[in-house]
Amino acid sequence: MWRALRRDIRVVFERDPAAKSVWEVLLCYPGLHAIWVHRVTHRLYRWGWYLPARILSQWARFLTGVEIHPGAVLGEGLFIDHGMGVVIGETTEVGRDVTLYQGVTLGGTGKEKGKRHPTVEDGVVIAAGAKVLGDIVVGAHSRIGAGAVVVKPVPPDCTVVGVPGRIVRRGGQKVGADLEHGDLPDPVAERLNALRREMEELERRLGKLENERKELEDADRSA
């Protein structure tokens, strides 16, 4: 238990530059508190004590703003930054060294039974407000951009943005646990820029054809 607690505190210092002291981390990080309570509720849930587990998880939700179903499986090194509005469903599986920002939902898409929530593999970063829905796998070391809605599987080492989520970067660079929110690609802007370049090329070609037509007309009048 003490090893796990020390690791949890170390993870906060590794991923949040705002952390100043151990006491601050212990007392002022609701995401950390939610993870600690979940460890208790998950054990109760595995023992079949479903109602006490749910009551305790709802108490934690009231105090931290983070809702984690007792049935969810959370790996070591999970960091929930700020925490408010984070929802993690019953059959969610989260790997090691995953980072979730505020407003993230790991949810389902309907009323189906069985596995109906995402599997998030090691080293994934999911930015603020992103929604990952359904029984899909988010591959290791992928990044989900702020506000994205992901409903299809994501291969490892990818960056996903948009609604619905689109893969805009795959491999070619090291993807770590630190997400630079201001450095995400913008596929809409990229497409608009491509259209602008195509229009400029068409205008250039039309201008050239217009000049050639005028030259032919001038030649005809001279003849």
Alpha carbon distance 12, 103 (integer Å)? 18
Q: What pLDDT sits at residue 162?
A: 83
Q: What pLDDT sits at residue 184?
A: 58
pTM over 0.75? The answer is no
Tokens of 101: 């920002």
pLDDT tens sequence across 122-152: 999 999 989 999 999 999 999 998 889 999 9
Which single residue is written with the structure tokens 């299809």? 152
Q: What pLDDT sits at residue 9?
A: 87
Name the stretches of the chain with pLDDT < 70.
Answer: 172-187, 223
Q: What pLDDT sits at residue 117?
A: 92
Give residues with Cβ within 8 angstroms of 166, minimum separation 6.
Answer: 160, 187
